[in-house]
Structure 1
Amino acid sequence: MQKYHIAYLLARLPIAFSMFGHGLVRIPKLEKFSAGMVKSFADTMLPAALVQPFSYVLPFLELITGLLLIAGLFTRFANILGVAIMLALIFGSCMQEQWNSVFTQIIYGAYFALLYLFADHNKFSLDNLFNTHKTSIAG
């Protein structure tokens, strides 16, 4: 059984660090990131009034999702949040007709879903230490 717990940790950490890194590098240059995102949606049907607020929130959601997954805290919730982020990004990529990005985001979404599915193997985590996975609304 130990190998399943180790495998879950080894699967959880790469996507955790990816999400953490996405948020971490964007937050210090939030204005520039936001302006770039708004510009990239200029020729789509999404109005800047929707894109701009999302662009300010996205890096923080990525960072929080990454931190929760790194720590293994509220892991099921973090995976649901990860899927929600991917759904928003998939929709945006569809509006931009960026089909390669859509494919990558679908892979991320499936990865989060699999982590959610196998969260019972999340032994090396704060969830296991604090037993939060038993009481989580997402679990």
Structure 2
Amino acid sequence: MKSVSYLMVRLGIGISMLGHGLVRIPKLNAFSEGMINNFQSAPLPDFLLIPFSFALPFIEFLLGLLLIIGWQTKRAAIVGGFLMLALIAGTSLIENWSALPSQMIHLLFFILVYEFNQANAFALDSKKD
């Protein structure tokens, strides 16, 4: 039964990440402009912020896809965890405290996916040649 619980955790964070990317990619320019506007007061240079704002939806989409199909699960969890840490840092810089709980929950899900990976039975990762 641990494998079913793990599957729900993995799919939960995977669907959330895929959804974040999926809705942002079609409106990529508007998303990037909005993010840049939100960070005008933050001490972040544009040469970091602009590429990040364009890359973020694709990273979210890819992480979500990898987690849903269960391929490279541990690596996806590590990348996702560090992505959440970057988002938490940015959110703190602009004092958007209402966004932090959601980001902290996403971070926790990535930690759970990484830590309990031995229960990853329903995944491409679990298929042996």
Q: TM-score per shorter chain, which class?
A: over 0.9
Specify every segment of 5 or more residues in structure 2 that has no aligned partner in the other structure, as ranges. Answer: none
Alpha-carbon offset, residue 105 of structure 1: 1.1
The higher-RCO structure (CA 8 Å, 6+ apart) is 2
CA distance in 2, matches of 1:113, 1:19: 15
| Per-residue deviation, residues 60-111 of structure 1 (Å, max 9, x unmatched) | 1100100000000010001001101101101110111112212321221121
CA distance in 1, matches of 2:21, 2:128: 26
Matches within 5 A, 1:55-134: 55-130=53-128
CA distance in 1, matches of 2:43, 2:9: 37
When the two structures are superposed, what TM-score results if normalisation uses the length of structure 1?
0.88
Identity over aligned pairs, percent:
47
CA distance in 1, matches of 2:76, 2:47: 27
Return 83-92 or 41-50, whichever deviates more.
Answer: 41-50
What's the RMSD between the two structures over aligned residues? 1.2
Does 1:23 find its partner at 2:21? yes
Specify every segment of 5 or more residues in structure 1 that has no aligned partner in the other structure, as ranges. Answer: 132-139
When the two structures are superposed, what TM-score results if normalisation uses the length of structure 2?
0.95
Alpha-carbon offset, residue 115 of structure 1: 1.2
